[in-house]
Amino acid sequence: MMYTYGTKVFTKLKGYYGEKEECLCCHKVYKKAYVKYTKWCHFNEIPLFPINVTYYKMCPICGDSVGLKGKQAKSEMVATDATETQQLEAYAKHILANKPKGFMSVDSSYEFYVKDLSTNEEICVATNLTKDMVKDMKKERGLKNFKIIDA
């Protein structure tokens, strides 16, 4: 019988807060996403207790982010004006035409998009991704209900 202790990070998008501001990286103007990162101690893959919590204040388009302590993040989230909402949807496309034919070749034909549901603008965030890279981006942004569309 093998016993394993370790840590695992769970992420969750809490919402979009604050004023709309221009991102210094991608120059898009949106409210920032607040993503909660909770590190859990686990025993045989069963989460036992949380060890620490960090928030990331993140550009919802390109993912550029800064870390915040929980207390600071919460006070910024509470202070926000909730009347102006922001609806974004992130998803990936698997560009089948670009899929490599070779059996062992790495399939890097995934693209990551964010769509602004109020303007219907579709913004391409990254191309030439592998499925694992897409999964990492999804986790980084704390997304659930994420779909990969065959295109």
Which part of the chain contacts Zn ion (CB under 5 A), choosing from 35-43, 62-70, 74-82, 93-101? 62-70
CB of 151: closest distance to Zn ion in angstroms? Answer: 24
Site membership for Zn ion, residue 124 (CB under 5 A): no
CB of 23 to Zn ion, least distance (A): 3
Q: How far is CA 99 from the centre of its chain?
A: 24
Query: Which part of the chain contacts Zn ion (CB under 5 A), choosing from 13-21, 24-32, 78-86, 99-107?
Result: 24-32
Token digits for 81? 């004006």
What is the spatial distance between Cα 126 and Cα 12, in angstroms, rounded to a whole number? 21
Listed ranges 19-27, 48-56, 81-89, 138-146: which one lies at the site for Zn ion (CB under 5 A): 19-27
78 Ramachandran zone, left/alpha/beta (phi>0; psi -120 to 50): alpha
Please check whether residue 59 is in contact with residue 30, taking contact to mean a CB–CB distance below 8 angstroms. yes
Interacting residue ranges for Zn ion, rule: CB under 5 A: 23, 25-26, 59, 61-62, 64
